[in-house]
Amino acid sequence: MCGIIGYTGDKKASDIIIQGLKYLEYRGYDSSGVAVLNDGVIKVAKKEGRIVNLERHLEEYPLEGHLAIGHTRWATHGRPSDDNAHPFISFHTRFAVVHNGIIENYLEIKEELMAEGVVFRSQTDSEVVAHLVEFMDKGDTKRAILDAVAKLKGAFALGIICVDSPDVIYAVKKDNPLIVGVTDNEGFICSDINSLQKFLSEVIVLDNDQMAVVGRGKAEVFSFDGIPVKKERIKLTAEEENALSDYECFMDKEMSEIPSALRRAIKFYREEKCFSKIDKDYLKKIRRINIVGCGTALHAGLYGEKLLNKFIPDVDVHSEMASEFRYDDVKVDENTLTITISQSGETADTLTCQRMVNARGGKTLTICNVPTSSMVHYADYALMICAGPEVAVASTKAFNCQELVFAMFVFDLALLRGTITPETYAHFCAEIDALPEKAEKALALREKISAYAARNFRRKSVFYLGRGMDYCVAMEGSLKLKEISYIHCEAYAAGELKHGTLALIEKDIMVVALVTQKNLIDKMYSSLAEVKTRGASLTVITPFADNPSLLDIADYIMEIPVTEEVLSPIISVIPTQLMSYYIARAKGCDIDKPRNLAKSVTVE
Ligand code: F6R
């Protein structure tokens, strides 16, 4: 959802910006730009489309200089174009600004500035910031920025440079992520911790309402009141190499990392005694659990809901997509726990819900992948999923790890509350230990699924079906397929199809069914017979590959390893991830950067 980066140092700044932007491109990729300060003049290059367009432009028209800011955009206000690309320059070209977020009161500010004769060159909300800062400037750059920021409403991470400060980048954070870091003779700002791994070994994570003045080898942090703030430096530990290596794309790489990510998550959860860090007395008292997330993270939450309902029957569980949760009159009291799930920990809808719950005095626990994220920072408790950097817009390994960590939490909670026996708990622990190897076996379906995709990638419409826990995986499989292949796809609880949607089933429609729960095979068979009778092509993902009914009805069977049923969604999702990947690949889609999307959605 827009990525920003800034550099000051001895190297050619525009080169560093391009390298950094490539790591940030997953945050938005409809235009990019760079502003370089050299000899008291700011020069800007901006290009619609992918970063490679900007890179080519800079090869032809290089920008010399050692201080620069850059931006990669996911359009909100103003269509993707060169003009609407960042950075924006102020009216007397003294300031350049890059912005991630939304300035809610930009129209009001724009009118005021236009009345003063300022001419705007874009349709964006962000341009107002550049002009406003210059308008506020009375000779003290830091003061001008703080005065301008005091007038802004909304969410913003800003990178600002000024002709008066040839070695300094100003970084401002409110509700959108921003990291700063320095080496002996360099300074960086960036939206994302992973993008700085190449350059830095430690970083400072800004909190809301903080500004940093970043120079060569030094960073000072201030509150929006201008008061200096002492900040801790966080060491960067690369869990996975976030370069592509020999893989075709990040989604391919990240699916291959599922087994190692699961191993790491299990080890971390146990060795760090993550569950014991949550207040036991509180956990025993909980009467209600809300689960909130978006997209893939929400689907992991729906799985968590099924587990909680099964193993902690005396707790009311309510799961909801974050964008709706905040409008519901959801109950939050001292015996309610709200669990937010998020890969990035920055998704605005989810973060807003977390804040809303905290503001009402409720406790929050986040299941998250990014330790330095806002969600981890502001939650009462955090369980890290340790999936390692996820760069592809389509989430894969994070989903498997979110499900895993949710399951481990539920088993611990059930043991604590006495709703499972120590023997059952030990059985689940052993089954959890077996998951990474089972994930490896499921990934061995690659070849079969690649051939399957070659035969099926022209399908116009696909339905994913499942019952019980399988329904959560059906939803995730369906989201993944439509997201990267642009094929129309829907997920249905298998029993619900006959109440209307069955009307859409005809010849050439592809139906993918998840059948991992033994007691549901017969019921699933009835639903599958209904679609088969209407001419659909049927693919079944199941560990019961020799079941005569399934063998009889399926056109394709994707066999997955037998897994403890309550854990099967962690494995059964893998063929759906592979199917999406190979189908999108067969269609020639840009897998890591699907159209209209961005990885980290930091606007509501
Ligand atoms: C789909 C996908 C999205 C995210 C959603 C929430 O593949 O990645 O649906 O799951 O935008 O993002 P996080 O988990 O970062 O809160």
**pLDDT at residue 243 greater than cutoff 90:** no
Q: How far is the CA of 478 from the centre of ligand 1 (A)?
A: 14
Does the CB atom of residue 343 touch ligand 1 within 6 A?
yes
- Does the structure show a pLDDT above 70 at 579? yes
pLDDT of residue 34: 98
Cβ atoms of 443 and 542 within 8 Å: the answer is no
Q: What is the pLDDT of residues 486-515, one digit of tens each?
A: 999 999 999 999 999 999 999 989 999 999
pLDDT over 70 (residue 356):
yes
207 DSSP 8-state letter = P
Task: Give the pLDDT score at 534.
Answer: 95
Please report which confidence band the pLDDT of residue 238 belongs to, taking 50, 70 and 90 as the band edges: low
More confident residue, 23 or 381: 381
Q: For 80-105, b where at least 16 C-beta lie within 10 A, e where not — what string?
A: ebebbbbbbbbbeebbbbbbbbbbee
Token duo for residue 489 = 């796809």
Atom of ligand 1 nearest to the CA of 298: 10
For a ligand 1 pocket test, name from 347, 395, 396 the mutation site with the most ligand atoms within 8 angstroms of its C-beta. 395
- Asked if residue 192 has pLDDT above 90, the reply is no
Question: pLDDT tens for residues 319-340?
Answer: 999 999 988 888 889 999 999 9
Ligand 1 site, residue 149, Cβ cutoff 6 A: no
Ligand 1 nearest atom to the CA of residue 393, by list position: 8
Distance 472 CA to ligand 1 centre (A): 15
How far, in Å, is the centroid of ligand 1 from the Cα of 399?
9
pTM of the full structure: 0.89
Helices 397-416 and 295-311, packing angle to 10 deg: 20
Mean pLDDT of 153-180: 95
Just list the catalytic residues. Answer: 2, 599
Q: What is the pLDDT at residue 276? A: 97
305 Cα–ligand 1 center, Å: 18
pLDDT at 111: 97
Q: What is the pLDDT of residue 240?
A: 61
Could you tell me if the CB of 347 is within 6 A of ligand 1?
yes
Is residue 350 lining ligand 1, measured as CB closer than 6 Å?
yes
The mean per-residue pLDDT over the stretch 221-238 comes to 91
The mean per-residue pLDDT over the stretch 556-581 comes to 98
Q: Is 601 left (phi over 0), alpha (psi -120 to 50) or beta?
A: beta
* Best residue among 191, 250, 255, 344 to mutate for probing ligand 1, ranked by most atoms within 8 Å of CB: 344
Give per-residue pLDDT as tens, 433-458.
999 999 999 999 999 999 999 999 99
- Going from the Cα of 601 to the center of ligand 1, the distance in angstroms, rounded, reads 8
For ligand 1, say whether the CB of 340 is within 6 Å of any of its atoms: no
Residue 344 CA, closest ligand 1 atom number: 15
Atom number, ligand 1, closest to the C-alpha of residue 296:
10
ω into residue 371 within 30 of 0, thus cis?
no
pLDDT at 27: 86
Instruction: Calculate mean pLDDT across residues 334-362.
Output: 94
Contact 286, 341 (CB under 8 A): no
Note the pLDDT tens digit of each residue in 357-398.
999 999 999 999 998 888 998 999 999 999 999 999 999 999
pLDDT at 28: 85
Kindly state if the Cβ of 577 falls inside 6 Å of ligand 1: no
C-beta of 375 in contact with ligand 1 (< 6 A): no
Q: For residues 589 and 486, is the Cβ–Cβ distance under 8 A? A: yes
Residue 239 is predicted with a pLDDT of 60
Q: In degrees rounded to 5, what are phi and psi of residue 171?
A: -120, 130
CA 464 to ligand 1 centroid distance, Å: 19
Does the pLDDT value for residue 77 go beyond 90? no
Partnered with residue 73 across adjacent β-strands are: 31
* Residue of minimum CA distance from atom 8 in ligand 1: 395
Q: Is 387 in the pocket of ligand 1 (CB under 6 A)?
A: no
Pick the closest to residue 395 from 562, 272, 515, 261 (CA basis). Answer: 261
Does 294 contact ligand 1 (Cβ within 6 A)?
A: yes
For residue 537 and ligand 1, the question of a CB distance below 6 A is answered with no
The answer to whether the CB of 401 is under 6 A from ligand 1 is: no
Atom of ligand 1 nearest to the CA of 600: 15
State residue 23 phi and psi, 5-degree precision. Answer: -70, -25
Pocket test for ligand 1, best of 343, 476, 484 (most atoms within 8 A of CB): 343
The atom number, within ligand 1, closest to the CA of 398 reads 14
Q: Is 568 in the pocket of ligand 1 (CB under 6 A)?
A: no
Task: Name the residue with the closest Cα to ligand 1, atom 6.
Answer: 294
pLDDT at 584 > cutoff 90:
yes
Q: Which residues contact 204 (CB under 8 A, 6 or more apart)?
A: 179, 180, 181, 212, 219, 221, 231, 232, 233, 234
Please indicate whether residue 394, judged by its CB atom, sits closer than 6 Å to ligand 1: yes
Helices (H), 101-249: 106-115, 127-136, 141-151
The C-alpha atoms of residue 385 and residue 404 are separated, in whole angstroms, by 8
Which residue's alpha carbon is at the smallest distance from atom 10 of ligand 1?
296
* Ligand 1 center to 121 CA (angstroms): 33
Query: Which ligand 1 atom minimizes the distance to the CA of 601?
Result: 11
Confidence of residue 600 (pLDDT cuts 50, 70, 90): confident
- Other beta carbons less than 10 A from residue 218's beta carbon: 12
Give yes or no for residue 1 having a pLDDT over 80. no
Distance 364 CA to ligand 1 centre (A): 19
3-state secondary structure 433-489: HCHHHHHHHHHCCHHHHHHHHHHHCCCCEEEEEECCHHHHHHHHHHHHHHHHHCCEE
Pair 159, 169: CB distance under 8 Å: yes
Percent of the chain residues topping a pLDDT of 70: 99
